[in-house]
Amino acid sequence: MPSRSSASNPSSGDGSGRDFIRDLVEADLASDRFAGRVQTRFPPEPNGYLHIGHAKAICLDFTVATEYGGRCFLRFDDTNPATESPEYVDAMVEDLAWLGFEPQDIRYASDYFEQLYAWAELLIERGLAYIEDQDAEAISVGRGGFGRPGTDSPSRDRPIEENLRLFREMAAGQHPDGSRVLRARIDMQHENMQMRDPVMYRIRHEHHYRSGDRWCIYPTYDWAHGQSDAIEGVTHSLCTLEFRDNRTLYDWYLDHLPLDELGHTGGRPYQTEFARLELTHTVTSKRVLRRLVEGGHVDGWDDPRLPTLRALRRRGYPPAAIRDFCVYIGVARTNSRHAPELLESFVRTELNATAPRRMAVLRPLKLVITNWPTDDDGVPVTELREAVNNPENPAAGTRQVPFSGTLWIEQDDFRLDPPPKYFRLTPGREVRLRAGYLVRCTDAVTDNDGNVTEVHCTYDPQTSGGQAPDGRKVKATIHWVSAAHAVPITAALYERLFDAELPGDRTGDPLDDVHPASREIVTDAVAEPAIAEVAGGAVVQFERLGYFCTDSESALLFHRAVGLRDEWANIQKRRAQAPKQSAKQGSERGGRQPRREAT
C-alpha cells in the first residue's frame, strides 16, 4: 500500500497513473490538436455546497491540467438566477481552497451573457434559431418521445426579421415570463432528444446576483456551457456521464459559431464524460440534503454526518485523504458506488501518520491501585509518565502524563466474567497501563444491581518501563486517565446517517432510511490534561478509540472522524451472528452459501 500515499505516483487502482482521460490528453498533445495547450475547468452552479461527489470532479479537472502543464479555472455556471446566490459562491471558493486546489482564475458564465446574446442573434440571422410562442407543455408534447419523432412547431418557420425583432423585445423586457423562448432550429426528428430544437433562452424577470437587472432573458445550460468553454479557451471539457447526449448539442453549437474570433490557439474544446462518484449509505442530492438540514435531521450544512466538504472538514477528514481517495478510485465510464469504508481507510492512513496520540476515556470506570504510595500527609503521589506522541513519527516527541493511584479506565476494558479471547482486565489478570505500569486486578466492587463500580488493582513498581524484569508478558495494554487530573470532555460518535445501502430505494424517500441513532453524544468522557493544548479543528488519536477532531467553536467537544480498526469488535460481531448462521444452515439442508455480512 505504500503507493497509495505517495503523491508522486497518482494511481488509478493499479498504480499506473493512467486512465482514458489522460490517454486522450496525451493523444491530443501528440497530434498537436490544441497547439500544446491543456485547459480544463471546474464548473459548479452556485446553488449549494460542495460535497464529496464534487471532490472527484475537482481532483480530476485540476490534476489533469497541472500534470500536463496546463491550467484549470473555477467557473460558476450561474445561468439560472432563481436558484443561485453569492453565499454559495463564497462557500465554494473556500471549500475548494480547503481541499487544496487553487484555480488560475475564477470566472462566471454570467460574464459571458453579452457574447452569448450576440451569438444568439447571429444564429437567428443564419436561420438557425427561432422564437417559440408555445408554452412549456406544448413544446414538450411537440418534442415527441423515446422512439416517437417530434413535430415541427408552428413557430418554426417564422421569418428571420420577425425572430430578430421578437428576440430583441424579449431582451428588452417586453414579454412576460414564460411567454416565449428562443429555440435552436435543428431537427425535430433527431433520434437524440437533446437535438429536437432545444431551448436557448428563457424569459426570467429576476434579479441576478451578479448581472443585477441587466437581463431578463437567461441562457440555458446547453447554450451557455460549451460557449463558455470556448471563450475561456478550454481544451478538455470533462463532465459526468449523464451529459453524454448533450455532447452532440455541445458540438453543434460550437460548429455554428465563429470561434476564430476568440483568438485561442488550437482547436475548439470537446467534451468527455466520466462516471460520477457515488457512495453507499450516502445522499448527495441537493434536494435531499436541504430536507435533512431544514427538517432538523442534522444540525446544519456542516453537520459531520453529511457528505459536504465543510462537514468532512468539521469531522476531521484531512483534505489529503480525500484527494488520495479521489485519485485512487480513478476515472471510468462505469457507474459505480463505493462504500464509505474505503474513504475511511484513506482517512486512517493519513491520520495514523499525522495525528498526535492522547489518552481519553469515553465511559469511565474507576480503578484504584491499592498499593500506590502516598506522601507524608497520606496524599497519593502523582507521577509524571512520559508518553510517545506518535509512534509513527519519532519527531513528534513525547509528553508528560500525570499518573496516580486512582484512574479512570474504559468500562469495556474490565469484565467480571470474561468471554473467550478477552485479553483485558479481569480479576486475577495482569495488564499494562499504557505508558504506565503493569497492574493486576485483585477484586471489584459492585452495586446492588451487580454493576461494577470500582476495580481494585496492585501495581508492580518494577514495571515502570512497561516490561516486567522477569520477562512475563501481558496480553493487553489499556489506556487510562488520572482521576485527579482528568479534563472533562464531550465526544460525538457518529454512525452513518442512512442505514440503507441505497437510501430511498425501499420507499422512494431517502428520509425514510435516516438512521435514528446516527449520532451519540458522550458527555461524561474525560481526557488527559495535555488535551487542552489541542487547537480547534485539530485531529488527535485517542489511543485505542479512534481519531477525534476538536470542534472549532467548542474546544472540549470532539467529533470522532473514524474509529480504529477493531479486531475485538470483529470477534464479538462474528460470535453474535455465528449461532444464527448455523441454525439457518441446519434448517436449509443443502443451501450453504455462507452468509456475507451486509453492513
Catalytically annotated residues: 45, 276, 286
Is 316 an interacting residue with respect to RNA (CB under 7 A)? no
In degrees and rounded to multiples of 5, residue 276 shows phi and psi of -75, 160
Is 14 an interacting residue with respect to RNA (CB under 7 A)? yes
Which of 421, 506, 575, 584 forms a contact with RNA (CB under 7 A)? 421
- 3-state SS, 213-240, equals CCCCEEECHHHHHHHHHHHHCCCEEEEE
Is 13 an interacting residue with respect to RNA (CB under 7 A)? yes
Instruction: Please report how the helices 246-255 and 221-232 are oriented relative to each other, as an axis angle in degrees rounded to 10.
Output: 60
Shortest Cβ distance from residue 497 to RNA (Å)? 19
Is 243 an interacting residue with respect to RNA (CB under 7 A)? yes
Specify the pairing of strand 360-361 against strand 519-527. Answer: antiparallel
Q: Which of 449, 365, 448 lies closest to 412 in space, CA to CA?
A: 365
**Helix %, strand %, coil % of the chain (to 5):** 35, 25, 40
Q: Which stretch binds RNA (CB under 7 A): 48-56, 441-449, 470-478, 553-561?
A: 470-478
The nearer residue to RNA, 54 or 559, going by C-beta atoms, is 54
Which of 376, 447, 567, 591 forms a contact with RNA (CB under 7 A)? 567
Is 349 an interacting residue with respect to RNA (CB under 7 A)? yes
Considering only residues 31 through 50, tell me which ones interact with RNA, judged by CB under 7 A: 43, 45
Considering only residues 147 through 176, tell me which ones interact with RNA, judged by CB under 7 A: 147-148
The nearer residue to RNA, 158 or 479, going by C-beta atoms, is 479
- 3-state SS, 498-532, equals ECCCCCCCCCCCHHHHECCCCEEEEEEEEECHHHH
Is 103 an interacting residue with respect to RNA (CB under 7 A)? no
The nearer residue to RNA, 99 or 355, going by C-beta atoms, is 355
Shortest Cβ distance from residue 529 to RNA (Å)? 18
The nearer residue to RNA, 50 or 298, going by C-beta atoms, is 50
Shortest Cβ distance from residue 225 to RNA (Å)? 7
Contact 503, 540 (CB under 8 A): no
Task: Tell me the three cell numbers of residue 324.
Answer: 488520495
Q: Which of 350, 339, 307 lies closest to 518 in space, CA to CA?
A: 307
Please name the residue that has the C-alpha cell 470532479: 57
d(CA 232, CA 306): 34
Q: How far is CA 181 from the centre of its chain?
A: 38
Specify the pairing of strand 181-184 against strand 129-132. Answer: antiparallel
Q: Which of 406, 358, 408, 357 lies closest to 382 in space, CA to CA?
A: 406
Q: Which stretch binds RNA (CB under 7 A): 110-118, 144-152, 396-404, 493-501?
A: 144-152
Q: Which stretch binds RNA (CB under 7 A): 117-125, 216-224, 452-460, 553-561?
A: 216-224
d(CA 305, CA 316): 11
Shortest Cβ distance from residue 9 to RNA (Å)? 11
The nearer residue to RNA, 241 or 583, going by C-beta atoms, is 241
d(CA 460, CA 457): 10
Is 140 an interacting residue with respect to RNA (CB under 7 A)? yes
Is 568 an interacting residue with respect to RNA (CB under 7 A)? yes
Is 216 an interacting residue with respect to RNA (CB under 7 A)? no
Is 16 an interacting residue with respect to RNA (CB under 7 A)? yes
Contacts 24+ apart (CB under 8 A), 290-299: 290/48, 291/511, 292/497, 292/511, 292/514, 295/511, 297/497, 297/511, 297/514, 298/497
Q: Residues, the chain, total? A: 599
Q: Which of 333, 305, 342, 181 lies closest to 559 in space, CA to CA?
A: 305
Which of 338, 366, 485, 496 forms a contact with RNA (CB under 7 A)? 338
Task: Tell me the three cell numbers of residue 126.
Answer: 443564419
Which of 6, 189, 336, 382 forms a contact with RNA (CB under 7 A)? 336
Q: Which stretch binds RNA (CB under 7 A): 152-160, 323-331, 485-493, 522-530?
A: 323-331
Shortest Cβ distance from residue 354 to RNA (Å)? 11
Is 180 an interacting residue with respect to RNA (CB under 7 A)? yes
Q: Which stretch binds RNA (CB under 7 A): 361-369, 418-426, 551-559, 578-586?
A: 418-426
DSSP SS3 for 425: strand
The nearer residue to RNA, 371 or 464, going by C-beta atoms, is 464
Contact 122, 114 (CB under 8 A): no
The nearer residue to RNA, 52 or 298, going by C-beta atoms, is 52
Shortest Cβ distance from residue 260 to RNA (Å)? 27
Considering only residues 193 through 212, tell me which ones interact with RNA, judged by CB under 7 A: 193-194, 198-199, 202-203
Shortest Cβ distance from residue 388 to RNA (Å)? 7
Which of 36, 427, 466, 529 forms a contact with RNA (CB under 7 A)? 466
Is 571 an interacting residue with respect to RNA (CB under 7 A)? yes
Considering only residues 501 through 540, tell me which ones interact with RNA, judged by CB under 7 A: none
Please name the residue that has the C-alpha cell 484504584: 368
Shortest Cβ distance from residue 583 to RNA (Å)? 20
Q: Which stretch binds RNA (CB under 7 A): 49-57, 163-171, 447-455, 559-567?
A: 559-567
| Greatest alpha-carbon span in the chain | 107
Give the binding-site size for RNA (rule: CB under 7 A): 105
Which of 329, 362, 493, 525 forms a contact with RNA (CB under 7 A)? 329
Is 555 an interacting residue with respect to RNA (CB under 7 A)? no
Which of 288, 342, 500, 557 forms a contact with RNA (CB under 7 A)? 342
The per-residue DSSP string of 310-351 comes to HHHHHHT--HHHHHHHHHHH---SS-EEE-HHHHHHHHHHHH
Is 462 an interacting residue with respect to RNA (CB under 7 A)? no
